[in-house]
Amino acid sequence: MNYALLVLASPASGLSNLSALRFAEAALARGHKIHRVFFLDQGTSSGLATSVYPQGEADPVALWAELGERHNLDLVLCISSALKRGLLDASEAARYERQAQTLHPAFSLGGLGLLVEATAEVDRLLTFGGPS
């Protein structure tokens, strides 16, 4: 089956973000396809290369990046959610004259159109929700 994931949950709080990651791992292990993982709202912090998680805690940024690189996943952060959280790739850092690129290279920035395209494309779209 072809899946897309919509991740609204922050990687820094709660379990929902890690649940999305575990779902992706399990689906890929069973031979399913992940068309795209779209990170929106607080979920965009999943791509923040400068975040540091304490020893003994899962590091969702590293785990997503590793999974993405291993399976060549399309990990996309909503650009407007990302920019206001300080997540910039090289071209956005240059455009807004900020000091550094903060987006992990396993991720990319993109518009909501990529979420829309994914919903049209896939068999199942799963939302991993934000705060209730």
Partner 1 sequence: MTQTKKVLLLTRHAPYGGSLARAAVDAALAAAAFEQAPSLLFMGDAVLQLVSDQDASAVGTRSHGRVLESLPLYDIDQVFVDQTALLEYGLTSHDLAIDVILLDDPAMRQMLADHDHILSF
Cβ at position 122, least distance to partner 1 in Å: 8
Give the Cβ contact number of residue 29 at 10 Å. 8
CA 68 → CA 25, 62, 84, 99, 108, distances in Å? 10, 10, 24, 26, 11
C-alpha Rg value of the chain to the nearest Å? 14
Residue 15 interacting with partner 1 (CB under 8 A): no
Q: Mark 40-69 with x for binding to partner 1 (rule: CB under 8 A) and - for no binding.
A: xxx---------------------------
> Which DSSP category does 45 fall into?
G
Cβ at position 79, least distance to partner 1 in Å: 11
Task: Round to whole Å and give the CA distance between 13 and 112.
Answer: 24
Residue 119 interacting with partner 1 (CB under 8 A): yes
Catalytic residue among 78, 79, 106, 114: 78
17's enclosing H/E stretch is helix 16-29
Residue 130 among the catalytic residues: no
Cβ at position 124, least distance to partner 1 in Å: 8
Query: Which residues contact partner 1 by CB under 8 A?
Result: 6, 8, 40-42, 80-81, 111-113, 115-117, 119-120, 122, 124-125, 127, 129-131
